[in-house]
Chains A and B, each alone.
Chain A
């Protein structure tokens, strides 16, 4: 399988923010099919680490390398769900599917995240959890090789958590590398990366 060759190597990664060292000498190697949980206290730099990995944050020292035949085919769900309130759930999802070149049945994906019947409701009328679900529905569209999820469990109810756990394990089983930040543990075989508090610079 071609995705077996996908690897992410992080070496001596250091990031400073507002004169404060977020993390230093961070090193890990992740490969296809693994699930990585990134933990740490609030403000430890979890979101910044994920933004560095997807290439949104460029102010760091050290090395981040994706070993893959092509540019990594990644799916990033940020801290904000990326859902515009003026658009309906379906319009939001259809746009991100087109933008990310992710074909798939949009309505079935919304159904999978329990938004059946809310497809045509403007996102302004959805709850915080439902907005998060609109963003999460992308996980049910065409597969990607890397999932980078920033606090995907925020505002999700118990039923949704179980379903998301299952989805993440299935994706990893199919060779997707999943990195997520949360205090929730998806399963026993999850690798953990803890961002500890650093002494002030």
Chain B
């Protein structure tokens, strides 16, 4: 339990626990954005149910992106990132622990909140489970892809906009299939196929993503 991977995971969880604002901010954003839609559009249940899959998914995606800018920044400023890259372990180890901690404290709470907001948006109750599954399967992919962008932009002063430009195109497949599977559930069509595609995206992100993040950090550190 005291290997580099566990030590990093424990450190990351402690760090986020000590500054809870970083964790609460994306969740708050998620809730506020979704709850503004009924006010701005119209409270008609049919209309809300129609737009709900897209609204909840776009809000979740932006919430994840909002949380990414700080993923490596403070470690870079304090010099801790250099320590991780010069440690005698493959950098994928601490990086993957960091990504897991990030997902546990942003993606997972988002997935738990999603059915509540879906219900508020008049989604039929049977579709709420599918919404939760899709967010559960989709957010880890968003975390990993976003971390690649965060790793490449960590050395830049105003990396936020560049980060969005880099990763938003890569987020499109997750958004399309994530919102698509919820819409299928609303229509009563089968959802397993689309969930499987989300799972495949996740498998791809998990297998290659941490390597790419580690490489990106190395490139940023070398500059």
Contact = CB atoms under 8 A, between A and B. Distances in A.
Interface stretch (A37-45, A79-87, A168-176): A79-87
Instruction: Give the interface size class of chain A.
Output: 20 to 34
B169 interface: no
- Determine the interface band of chain B, counting residues with CB < 8 A from chain A: 20 to 34
A95 B86 contact: no
A162 B89 CA distance: 32
B7 A99 contact: yes
A98 B7 contact: yes
A45 to B, nearest CB: 15
Secondary structure class of chain B's binding surface, majority of residues: helix
Given A80-B77, A80-B78, A82-B79, A99 B84 contact: yes
Interface in A52-74: 54-59, 71, 73-74
Nearest to B221: A56
Nearest to A86: B18
A160 interface: no
Interface in A91-123: 91, 94-96, 98-101, 122
A76 B88 CA distance: 11
A95 B14 CA distance: 11
Nearest to A97: B7
A82 B83 contact: yes
Contacts of A59: 222-223
A101 B89 contact: yes
Contacts of A55: 86
Contact of B86 (A54, A84, A94, A101): A54
A79 B89 CA distance: 21
A91 B222 contact: no
The residue among A71, A74, A95 with the most chain B CB atoms within 10 A of its own CB is A95
A78 interface: yes
A87 B11 contact: yes
B165 interface: no
B45 to A, nearest CB: 45
Contacts of A98: 2-4, 6-7
Contact of B8 (A58, A76, A99): A99
Contacts of B85: 56
B82 A56 contact: yes
A71 B8 CA distance: 23
A100 B82 contact: no
A59 B2 CA distance: 35
Contacts of A58: 218, 222
Interface string A162-191: 000000000000000000000000000000
Nearest to A55: B86
Contact of A96 (B6, B18, B74, B83): B83
B8 A56 contact: no
Contacts of A122: 18
Contacts of A91: 11, 14
B18 A99 contact: no
Contacts of B74: 84
Given A54-B86, A99-B89, A84 B4 contact: no
13 contacts: A56-B222, A57-B222, A59-B223, A78-B82, A80-B79, A80-B82, A82-B78, A82-B79, A84-B15, A84-B80, A96-B83, A99-B7, A99-B94
Given A78-B82, A98-B4, A99-B83, 5 more contacts: A78-B83, A80-B78, A84-B74, A84-B75, A87-B18
Interface of B: 2-4, 6-8, 11, 14-15, 18-19, 74-75, 77-80, 82-89, 94, 218, 221-223
Q: In the A-B complex, list the 10 residue pairs whose CB atoms are closest, starting with the nearest.
A: A80-B79, A98-B7, A82-B79, A86-B18, A82-B83, A76-B86, A82-B80, A58-B222, A99-B87, A78-B82
